[in-house]
Amino acid sequence: MYLRQIELENFKSFGKKLTVPLLEGYTAVTGPNGSGKSNISDAILFVLGPKSSRAIRAGKLSDLIFNGGKDRSPASYCKVSLVFDNQDRTIPIDEDMVRLTRVIKMSQDRESYTSTFYVNDRRSSLGEFDVLLSNARISADGYNFVQQGDITRITTMSNLERRRIFDDISGISKFDEEISKARAERDEVDANIERISIILAELERQIGQLEQEKEVALTYLRMKEKLTLSRAQLAYRRRESYEAEAAALHKQIETYEHTIQQLKDQRLEVADRIRDLDVRMMETEKELREKGGREFQELREKIDELRIKVAKAEDRAAQAMQSAEEADEERAIKAAEREDMLRSLDEMAKEREEASLRLKEVDGQLESRNKELAAIQAELSDCDAELATLEKELASLDREVRQKDDELNRLRMEKERLEGRRDRLADELAEFDRNMESLDVEVLDADEQIKELKRSGQDSSRELKELQERFIQQRNAEARMTREMEELEQAIRSLGREQSRLKAEEEAAGDIARGYNRAVRGILEARDSLAIRGIHGTIAELAEVDDKYSTAMNIAAGGRMQAIVVEDDGVAAECIQYLKRHDLGRATFLPLNKMLDGRPRGKAILAAKEAVGFAIDLVRFYERYRAAFWYVFGDTVVVDTLDHARKLMGGVRLVTMGGELLEASGAMIGGKTDASSLRFGAPSRGKLEEIAAKLNQAVLAAERLEAEIAQVRKDMAALQDRIRELSGAGGASDVTLKALESRRQELRMKLDKLKTERADKASEMQAVTRSITELDARLASGEKCLNDIRSKRETSRARLEQLAPAEMSIRLKQLQSDVVSLTGVAAELRTSVQTLDARLQMTRERVAALNAEEVQLAEKAEKLRSESRSIGEEGAKARTELAALRRIEGSMGEEINKLRERKEALFREKTELEGERDRLQNKVETTTDIIVGLRTRIGQCQDKIRELTEELKQYNVEVTGPVPSYDALRDTIRQLEGAIDNMGAVNLRAVDDYEEKKKRHADLNEETQRLEAQRRDLIRLESDLNEKKKVSLFQVYEAVNENFRRCYAELSQGGEAELILENPEQPFEGGLIMRVKPRQGKTLRLEALSGGEKSLAALAFIFALQEYQPSPFYLLDEVDMFLDGINADMVARRVQKSSKTAQFIQISLRKITLTKADHIIGVTKQDGGISHVIIRPNISDIKDFQAEFNIPDEKMEEGAQ
């Protein structure tokens, strides 16, 4: 393959159509300066090197269009075609001739232009050009094309830049891309692992909490299930009872209905008999009237009246006697109630007596405390007002310090955020500049970066399917990341709550810190304000102790709890100087680099075997602090009681759980311990900072994830738009047109957007810088104000300590607390006594009322009995009168008496029958009422049965087997309800939430393991790629080095040269040294050579690279400009030799070079500013040519061939 001809039209100084034929071998292009000879090389590079940064000498592509010269109008386009002979099919096109064409065309307003590519007059693209040129081993960025600037660049580049040439030609740049990709994937994996670790930590916290709640919920559910079963069993048993009752009632109704029928039959029989008696009585009465006369009739009427009167009197007397008996019964009930009231009176009186005694005791304690309090207050009476003022002032100053500290921390965090933003903006602005610089050409060539869509609709369908699959993948990723975002937000909320809790504890620790002396407080404030670094904290802060051991540990540590642990003795010395400068007193410092650990003595070991253990083992702390805690506790042994300690004492230091201390010397210290505000486990700022760091990490992870979610959603929106575009297009051509127009518009908008965004970023950069300056001023002012407040607070504290000793203040607060507590107890007891008095009064009044009611009921009963006796007397009188009248009636004759007796007999029989009839009727009615009642009860039972059936359905429990008794079920239900009530609020979702969180935890653990495995694979891949890079680099290095030796020896006529790697072990961390020994000279580095020698060495290096990657076509542009005659001749001979296997085109003004060329092309520029070409193929003598093109003679030095 070789370049057969160049076709130019309106390209730079070639203002018309021009064809430059070329032949195989060595062709030289020459001409006066400014004639346009280098425009030949620009034309070649314009077509073959469209992406090269050194491809063309023009600010923008439109500058390549012929500008009209002196007297012609500017052209609207330019066109260059390179025609290659492709008979050997080096270019992968099945044609003997391949024409590569590029056209630049201005728009009508000449504000913009288009760039178009063609292959054999077929519309092509930038991508196809890249593929074709790559297969032909032609690259404008490689060393197929060598310009004078390349020679200079090689001689002036650094060793590292020179070694990077090997990176490009060895193809290891692809390894770099894969390594960068692997690193990017690894960074993404690391970010995912970090994000998942945050979520896992939050899940573990939730699982720990949910596990407890789950057990409670399961217990609750089991109890609830048992309660439901018990209630169902109770309902079942009640339904059975009601069903049995209803069945029994039905049987009773059947019996009663049968009885009613019998009674009705009997009543009918009695009614018939009564009717018969009425007839017979009427007949007898009639006969009596006929035989007795009017006098007998009147007697008869009186007898009837008296008989009725007697009956009524008997009835009234009976009713009065019954009422009297009822009054007696009610009086007995009242008497029983009165007895109960009297017993309650006795119990309440005893309870009141006990409360009164307790109240008297509490009043005595309160009086004692008040006296002691008054004594202390009297002692402090001279400075009460000042103390109160100081305490209020200290509280106010503490609040101001905390508020100002928080404000300053917020300002510092805001400043750090703004500084980070400023740095990011600087990077973004630099990135904008780089992107805009590279985008200038890319935007202009945007149309060519889009491949033509396939002509068939099948390709569109395939793209649509791929887009839909990608959209589903993106949607799944979006759902996964959204869930992770929710979990991260939950973790952030949890960490925020923990941070708030620790801050609250830290504020509370301010009160605890009052138990420290001034020196310790001053050092801790210096630590918190970062005035001194390397302070870990006090012994009290750095340890945690179980509550049951707290008294013993506090006594064992004593004043050493205030000892301050520091990083090293240098920090301790700085702290001591700080105390001296600020006149804060003295403190004990424990430098970790100097503290010595110890071992328990023999007696202590023996004592510990019979005791609770060593004090140092009952305290939790970081192991690096062990030497410091040995200083505090030593081999102190903790025992349970003083008696036990006495058995072990002697030669060993002992402390009891109650707070007694037995020194090794035998001294015993004990008594009542005062409540101290200083205790182990005070919140450490380190824990707060750890939580803050975790919170910051979680927030950053959430921000990164939010950005990823936003990007995914943006990609999804773009995919949706593209899917809709492909789905709605009428055909492949319409889709292609829309895609091309959209891409072109997008690129133009992208450039405009970059310019706008850069301006916005620059404005934001200025605003951020101003904000940082303002924050610096506010911070300086705030820190000065904070120092003033702290100084004022320290002064107030010192004055407070002078006025009120710590022990007296503590006792004063304790007494005040006791007085408040005892006052409350006394008030409660006094209220209880008053309540009991009121209840006693009410009970006594009720007893008096019951006595009065008993008397009234007794009087009522007596009155009723008297009334009954009076009525009885009236009845007796009526009976006497009735007997007299009956005697009169009996004296009125035997026949009438017989009639009367018969009538009386009939009357009595009738009365008995009527009574029997009424009795039977009453029985019928009573039985009927009973039946109605039974039916009503049956209805109630049926209602209950229905209710209980519905209740059982709601319980949804099958009741089988033996059912417990009513009492057992009620007891079970009562116990279960009580237990459930005692449980309080129960999180019933805890069971499902626990399982869900456990499953999520397991899934994330699997995901973490997968990511860890992926991370290991990526690390291994990166290592493998680096090793392959190294192998490839050494292969290139060895081959090029051998070529370089040979080429330089040939060009320098016997000189020596070599390439040396600066760091053979890690070649990518070092550069490439070029060492040269000219003929008859000494070995020198490239930097020490003369200009010509440097150029010769650089050319030898280029030829060595060309030999390693041979190409069928080379272009050299004035590479011999700075060479002397001998070296220029040697280079020309070298090119002449190489032209036997490849085509060389060299731009040159050197006669020596031209004499070695097979063909010469001359370029001149005539009037009008248009270049012309003169061709001399197979030239043997350049004398005429030399004169025409003003080529100067050159004198060859001795030794030239």
In which band, very low, low, confident or very high, does the pLDDT at 453 lie, cut at 50, 70 and 90? very low
| Mean pLDDT, residues 665-687 | 70
CB 511 within 8 A of CB 813: no
Q: How far apart are CA 48 and CA 82, in angstroms?
A: 9
| Mean pLDDT, residues 1115-1122 | 80
Domains of the chain: 1-144+1116-1163 (3.40.50.300), 386-503+689-803 (no CATH), 517-677 (1.20.1060.20)
Q: How far apart are CA 740 and CA 755, in angstroms?
A: 23
Q: How far apart are CA 553 and CA 659, in angstroms?
A: 8
| Predicted pLDDT of residue 653 | 93
Distance of CA 152 to the CA centre of its chain: 59
Residue-wise pLDDT for 118-136, tens only, equals 999 888 877 787 788 777 7
CB 707 within 8 A of CB 842: no
| Lowest-pLDDT choice from 663-677, 735-749, 893-907, 1145-1159 | 735-749
Q: How far apart are CA 454 and CA 959, in angstroms?
A: 74
In which band, very low, low, confident or very high, does the pLDDT at 1050 lie, cut at 50, 70 and 90? confident
Half-sphere exposure of 377 (CA within 13 A, CB side): 11
| Predicted pLDDT of residue 493 | 80
Q: Which residue shows structure tokens 């104000």?
A: 785
| Predicted pLDDT of residue 438 | 53
Exposure of 807 by Cβ count < 10 A (0-12 exposed, 13-18 middle, 19+ buried)? exposed
pLDDT > 60? residue 423: yes
In which band, very low, low, confident or very high, does the pLDDT at 444 lie, cut at 50, 70 and 90? low
CB 659 within 8 A of CB 635: no
| Lowest-pLDDT choice from 23-27, 559-563, 1187-1191 | 1187-1191
Residue-wise pLDDT for 758-796, tens only, equals 888 888 888 888 888 888 888 888 888 888 887 887 777
Exposure of 28 by Cβ count < 10 A (0-12 exposed, 13-18 middle, 19+ buried)? buried
CB 1116 within 8 A of CB 1146: yes
pLDDT > 90? residue 563: yes
In which band, very low, low, confident or very high, does the pLDDT at 244 lie, cut at 50, 70 and 90? confident
What are the structure tokens assigned to 245, written together?
């009752």
pLDDT > 80? residue 823: no
Q: Return the closest-CA partner of residue 338 out of 857, 843, 861.
A: 843
| Lowest-pLDDT choice from 58-67, 305-314, 463-472, 743-752 | 743-752
Residue-wise pLDDT for 172-219, tens only, equals 766 777 777 777 888 888 888 888 888 888 888 888 878 888 888 888
Residue-wise pLDDT for 849-884, tens only, equals 778 878 888 888 888 888 888 888 888 888 888 788
| Predicted pLDDT of residue 715 | 86
The DSSP H or E segment spanning 795 is helix 732-803
In which band, very low, low, confident or very high, does the pLDDT at 511 lie, cut at 50, 70 and 90? very low
pLDDT higher at 316 or 1001: 1001
Cα-Cα end-to-end distance for the chain: 32
Q: CA-CA distances (angstroms) from residue 50 to 60, 103, 111, 385, 865?
A: 12, 12, 21, 91, 139
The DSSP H or E segment spanning 564 is strand 564-566
Ramachandran area for residue 1186 (φ above 0: left; ψ -120 to 50: alpha; else beta): alpha
CA dihedral 220, 221, 224, 229 (to 10 degrees): -150
pLDDT > 50? residue 454: no
**How high is the mean pLDDT of the chain?**
79
| Lowest-pLDDT choice from 222-236, 488-502, 529-543, 585-599 | 488-502
| Mean pLDDT, residues 434-450 | 55
| Mean pLDDT, residues 30-54 | 75
- Strand, helix or coil for residue 142: coil
| Predicted pLDDT of residue 455 | 45
pLDDT > 50? residue 589: yes
Burial letters 150-172, b for 16+ CB under 10 A, else e:
bbbebbebebeebbebbbebbeb
Q: Which residue shows structure tokens 């650990």?
A: 597
Q: How far apart are CA 233 and CA 239, in angstroms?
A: 10
Length of the chain: 1201
In which band, very low, low, confident or very high, does the pLDDT at 418 lie, cut at 50, 70 and 90? confident
How would you write 738-782 as a 3-class SS string? HHHHHHHHHHHHHHHHHHHHHHHHHHHHHHHHHHHHHHHHHHHHH
| Predicted pLDDT of residue 564 | 94
Q: Return the closest-CA partner of residue 449 out of 647, 739, 100.
A: 739
Half-sphere exposure of 744 (CA within 13 A, CB side): 14
Q: Return the closest-CA partner of residue 642 out of 663, 657, 625.
A: 657
The DSSP H or E segment spanning 784 is helix 732-803
| Predicted pLDDT of residue 1201 | 37
CB 652 within 8 A of CB 608: no
DSSP state of 1197: P
CA dihedral 788, 794, 795, 798 (to 10 degrees): 180
pLDDT > 60? residue 1141: yes
Q: CA-CA distances (angstroms) from residue 1090 to 23, 1132, 1195?
A: 36, 20, 21
What are the structure tokens assigned to 456, written together?
């068939």
CB 1051 within 8 A of CB 1092: no
